[in-house]
Structure 1
Amino acid sequence: MLRYTKDHEWVRTEGDIATVGITAYAADQLGDVVYVELPEVGLKVKKGESAATVESVKAASDIYAPVSGEVVEVNAELGDAPQRVNEAPETGGWFMKLRLSNPAELDALLDDEGYGAFTETL
């Protein structure tokens, strides 16, 4: 199950690992992604901190950690193929995987219905 932030990041958890990316809505708003700056493996991030950067033809945007944890993997494919963020934002265009340090933070994120309702207000 995906969970979402109001900053348009998504999280999918498997055990204590959370995969993080941006939503299709965010990818659409950004336009064509041309560069992605990923965090270093081992970096510890807190919920709400900038963890990555995505640059498009329109703008550069920070990607915020939707939950706290340690970066255990990054999607190195995005270095050579940043367009994957546009092509498959909620699957192959993921940014990083975090080992959760506070799984209870997931409870504060939006579900599909809540995120859908939120985007309708934008």
Structure 2
Amino acid sequence: MFQPLDTPQPKQLPRTVEEVVTILLNDLPLRDRVVLSTLSEEELDTSVYLALAKSIREEFGLYNGNDSLIASCNSFLGVEYDSYEDPAMVIIKELWKKIKRNHRLRVIKG
């Protein structure tokens, strides 16, 4: 369902959750965005997390010292998320929230 993401160059690594969400939104095909918009948070925690978390960690430097991005993820912890939440999951949930706001299927009356 989800395609591998283009890997940013080291000097181009995003520094905030918002920057990563923008990159992911630009990389996700419309079909995947629509599918994500229909998922519940529980479904997000299992299927999407398993598909995207490792790629997010590797491609955006969560494994190798993107301290600014880690700090940005941590700023959500204890406020909007459980204090033990994985930084990759913070990014996935913020992506999901943005997609839910912008890509909901709507009934069109004819």
In the superposition, the TM-score normalised over structure 2's length comes to 0.32
Between the two structures, name the one with larger relative contact order (CA 8 Å, sep ≥ 6).
Answer: 2
The structure that is strand-richer by fraction is 1
In the superposition, the TM-score normalised over structure 1's length comes to 0.30
